[in-house]
Structure 1
């Protein structure tokens, strides 16, 4: 590190942005291996379980150590014993203060693979993890998150001695490991996901990758509020797309916007920390750590997207051929 300039300035891209992306790449590598193994089986579900486990492992390593990450159950003193506890893929909780009511799992499971029962007042977030983003998986994720409704119908004061509901800063989201080329026109997937906007603390979601040329890009499912009922003008979810708006008041509409960028992994990661701290602002970057793109690295001040990546590829090939011919003359 050079010391001739003592006055530091914010750098984009900043130190370590490519290294930060290795967390995403390692999750996808394990997922791809599991998916390949699943092809040999009649029931192809193994890669989904690996996706959940890999995401929990990454999140557990990333978050400050006061936050625990587990699969398991959220237990409220207000739910009768006649009910069955609901299992969630990813629960983020206060592991410094929270007791663990019980543990489910065999001795050969990793720590992240065990299912813990956590009291409701110590739960900060729930994330549902699915393999591929499409209308079926999107609906499943929303239906599972909707099972939290009895625990989020009220916000209790801090001084209430017996807590029955999720904390006021609670958030929930959905994570999908990939958007496949075959599903790029399945815009109903976005319409299914927008149904989750009725849930307290719902914050959209994240897609680790799409089948595009840019292998470092990931998708961000952003919740947007508007005053008009605008009609989507979608061409491909691998480029940019929105759900149909859902009305929730007079001249108030919510929709989900999906677009891809190399910055979205770091944005999603640090948004989680901001939500856990109660400082999240959807209109401000939560952090610039890990923030960068290949085009920024190459000196461009803009991150350019093309609707048809094949046209972009052909253009680059023609450019390379042209300049190679010039150099050879």
Structure 2
């Protein structure tokens, strides 16, 4: 079973992320022996701009270059930005810098401030110093903030989080400084060294002062998605048993929810909270949020796009076996074949159905709720009481042309019968009992496992 699935086209859309990372890795290989390594940064920036220009609606242009405000004087400095997103249907290109050897994505363009809707800085690694540099660059727009587009936003795109930086709590404390930067909304971390399938999404939130509890989670910044203690119980309940872990729920049909596993850290300061959340779904979420921000669409807007969503298949955690020895103050079930009354020793055999009867006795001190079909049905069994259960097995006729009667006469039939139970309705600490049922020549035997 694949560990994930998704919305129509999810594999193809998320191929974009793989292509960006593949381009970076190729450039790194080509430049690793050069004394000064700046080409890899320029190369991945150009590739990101190329991809964004293909991805975004055509009214948006993507370039590197300069933002030109409507100011007068000779003391104004021109600052270069890695990614400028602007309204290209209305914006004139004031000038272009570059030469014929450079690609279109490698050239610098000067864009009037009022047409700029977003600015991103690109950094190869998520480190404190890179965060500081990027925030300082983004803060250069403060001198002409009133001239930018009303939907203006800014952020940082990091390529990698290396394992060496994974426990550096100063990283998230540095990111919270983005709260003082015009339009700063967060950003993206394309890859975590410990799990290349995961993408990090950085978000800056407003919080109410009364909700600013002195509870922060600084590290580790990331964890492998498949290592997270997130699972379904045998009753089908979602269980999140790890600090920082969570799920994103999406209603994928009228009666069905799909899950994306997440792990995140957070830090609060004043009325702001910065989050770094990891998921296999975050590349598409970043792209959805980018378009929504450019268009001024809030989270619950019906026009907000949805595409490329990735969901995780959650494993069911099997209940452990109950102790072989009865313990004081705990339930204890005993499973046997039922031998009394009209149903005793009764074995019914049809061509494709076989039926027998078991006895389940609660010899412990507590009542239990139990089931033998993953809690599609369940019943209560008080302490000291015995339940009688009819068990029916159906033959998978697509795998054999024999009947149950044929199989029993020749080699016999074996079936693992399993009962799962819990005593506490709140904690639901599941336990199980298992037995091997063997049917051979019209005789039924049971043996504990």
Query: TM (normalized to structure 2)?
Result: 0.57
Report the counterpart of residue 273 of structure 1 in structure 2.
Answer: 291
- Whether 2:207 is the aligned partner of 1:184: answer no
Aligned match of 1:222 in 203, 220, 245?
203
Q: Distance in 2 between matches of 1:21 and 1:268?
A: 12
Identify the range of structure 1 (226-235 vs 267-276) with the bigger mean alpha-carbon deviation: 226-235
The alignment status of 1:49 with 2:45, answered yes or no, reads no
Q: What is the aligned partner in structure 2 of residue 128 from structure 1?
A: 121
- Structure 1 residues 194-203 or 266-275, which shifts more? 194-203
Q: Distance in 2 between matches of 1:282 and 1:150?
A: 33
One of 232, 239, 263 as aligned partner of 2:216 = 232
In 2, distance between residues paired with 1:243 and 1:14? Answer: 28
Tell me by how many angstroms 1:26 deviates.
Answer: 0.5
Partner of 1:137: 130
- Structure with the larger RCO, 1 or 2 (CA within 8 Å, 6+ apart): 1
Q: CA deviation at 1:185?
A: 1.1
Q: CA deviation at 1:255?
A: 2.3
Partner of 2:352: none
Structure 1 unmatched ranges of 5 or more = 1-11, 155-164, 248-252, 303-329
Equivalent residues of 1:267, 1:286 under 8 A apart: no
Please list the CA deviations of residues 197-254 of structure 1 after superposition, one character each: whole Å capped at 9, or x if unmatched. 11232110100010123x322000111233314232333111345454222xxxxx21
Richer in helix (by share) = 1
CA distance in 2, matches of 1:25, 1:124: 26
Instruction: Pick the aligned partner of 1:288 from 296, 306, 323.
Output: 306
Distance in 1, Cα, partners of 2:52 & 2:197: 19
Please, what TM-score do these two structures have when normalized by structure 1? 0.77
User: Aligned-pair distance for 1:166?
Assistant: 0.4
Distance 1:282 1:237 in 2: 28
Given that 1:177 and 1:207 are in contact with CA atoms closer than 8 Å, whether structure 2 keeps it comes out as yes
Counterpart check, 1:90 vs 2:71: no
Mark the runs of 5 or more structure 2 residues left unpaired by the alignment.
Answer: 224-262, 317-449
- Alpha-carbon distance in 1 for matches of 2:299, 2:74: 38
Change beyond 3 A, Cα 1:285–1:192: farther
Counterpart secondary structure, 1:230: coil
Q: Name the CA shift for 1:51/1:282 in 2 (closer, same or farther; >3 Å).
A: farther
- SS of alignment partner, residue 259 of structure 1: strand
Closer/same/farther in 2, CA of residues 100 and 218 from structure 1, 3 Å limit: same
RMSD of aligned alpha carbons: 2.2
Distance in 2 separating the partners of 1:167 and 1:216: 35
Following superposition, the deviation at residue 90 of structure 1 comes to 0.4
Give 1 or 2: higher strand fraction.
Answer: 2
